[in-house]
Amino acid sequence: MFEKLKNYAARQLELDPSEITPDSTFESLGIDSLDVVEMIMDLESELGVELDMEDQKITTFQELADFIESKLN
């Protein structure tokens, strides 16, 4: 899932994939909350799963990948 997120961010947000690591925070890469919401909405559509982030404190790509994987299982 991390690789999927990394590729998405690189493509959609025009980031250098080599800069995106599992521990990269959204903030450190200049990704704002609106970008995160858009990414979540796209992933929900693509994966066919609802990702309710309301009570989640997710700040890194790996945390997001782990959260998504937990919803898929």
> Which sequence spans correspond to the domains of the chain?
2-72
Choose the catalytic residue: 23, 32, 42, 52: 32
Q: What is the mean pLDDT of residues 39-46?
A: 91
Q: What is the mean pLDDT of residues 16-38?
A: 94
User: Model confidence at 34, in pLDDT bands (50, 70, 90)?
Assistant: very high
Assess contact for 43 and 51: CB atoms under 8 A: yes
Which phi-psi region, left, alpha or beta, contains residue 39 (left: φ > 0; alpha: ψ -120 to 50)?
Answer: alpha
Concerning whether 66 is annotated as a catalytic residue, the answer is no
pTM: 0.88
Measured CA distances, 71 to 58, 59, 64 (Å)? 14, 17, 11
For the chain, the average pLDDT equals: 92
Res 69 pLDDT > 90: yes
Just give the CATH number of 2-72.
Answer: 1.10.1200.10
Q: What is the mean pLDDT of residues 8-29?
A: 94
